[in-house]
Amino acid sequence: MKVTILGNNSALPAFGRNPTAQVVTIYGEHLLIDCGEGTQVQMQKHGIKWSKLNHIFISHLHGDHYFGLPGLINSMSLLGRQAPVYLYAPAAIMPMMQNILDLADTVLTYPLHFHPLPEGSGMLVETETFKVTCFPVEHRIACHGFLVESKTKGRKLLPVQCRDYEIPRYYYDRLKMGEDYVRKDGTVIKNELLTTEGPEVKKYAYCADTLFTDSFIQYIKDADTIYHETTYLHADAEKAKMRYHSTPIQAAEIAKMAGAKQLLIGHFSSKYRELAPFRDEAMTVFPNTLVAIEGNSYDV
């Protein structure tokens, strides 16, 4: 699993003002989390294929998190998409989306399935390869974070060894589940000769826009990577609290309390001209901290 940052809501000279949006990739499928203005442009720029995007998650209805959604939905239709898209977002977003489509007399070329976020926590989607749950955070308006968990596909086959031992293809799924192969004469071909360990199950927690609170720690416990906003440096902690945002030190405290392996920080206020101080502050509490930079991908 990896996460690609399409924007970090900053206005630094080196990065420009980018949308709040990121893509989680699991076994080649893309999950879009938030969709600020210009997200589709960033997707093209950074090689995110729309054909691999089936699920979109919107944390809350502040413009920098969803103003790019109408354009993206419409563009995929103009390009003739036929595969369904599943949208998980606050309930109020759908009347707005429908009004935009109605005003232009737009009929989408693909099914758009809308699932309103619950008031509290809950399962949003589960497939053979991943599942996504949501949990409430504390922001100025209703807002949710998302926990993305990959699933194992079992052990990884070694094709050359399978051919050398003449393992029939119908048995491959059983090999992935860890079974040995037994020939008709009773000879046992041990599984470890034919497979290796498969990809690890990973947990990625997107904590959205929130003030410093431990109210959602239970949902992100033991995550491999936590993304947490750090809108203000700690000298502006009171301003952060007043505006329902967080600082790097506070984000690091959350990662530490959750027992996370890695912290990814972003959503920087445009008042700051450098990113190094954000990383430096967080690392005093949680050393394994990375700064979310537009276009970069991070292993979860």
User: What does the pLDDT look like over 123-161, one tens digit per residue?
Assistant: 999 999 999 999 999 999 999 999 999 998 788 899 999
Domains of the chain: 2-153+199-295 (3.60.15.10), 156-195 (no CATH)
Residue 237 and residue 14: Cα distance in Å, rounded? 26
User: How many C-beta atoms surround the C-beta of residue 102 within 10 A?
Assistant: 9
- The answer, yes or no, to whether residue 165 has pLDDT greater than 50, is yes
- The answer, yes or no, to whether residue 13 has pLDDT greater than 60, is no
- The answer, yes or no, to whether residue 86 has pLDDT greater than 90, is yes
Q: Which uninterrupted H or E stretch holds 113?
A: strand 112-116
Q: Alpha carbon 153 to chain centroid distance? A: 19
Residue 263 and residue 283: Cα distance in Å, rounded? 10
- Structure token pair of residue 2: 């990896």
Long-range Cβ pairs for the range 125-129 (8 Å, 24+): 125/55, 125/86, 125/88, 127/151, 129/26, 129/27, 129/29, 129/153
Residues 185-237 have pLDDT tens digits of: 999 999 999 998 877 899 999 999 999 999 999 999 999 999 999 999 999 99
Beta-bridged to residue 24, according to DSSP, are 3, 31
pLDDT for the residue 297: 96
Residue 280 and residue 249: Cα distance in Å, rounded? 9
pLDDT level of residue 19 (50, 70, 90 thresholds): low
Strands 130-136 and 122-126: antiparallel
The dihedral of CA 252, 261, 3, 88: what is its sign? negative
- Whether the CB-CB separation of 145 and 134 falls below 8 Å is answered with yes
Tell me if residue 44 falls in helix, strand or coil.
helix
Residue of 208, 152, 157 lying closest to 179 (CA atoms)? 157
Residues that are catalytic: 64
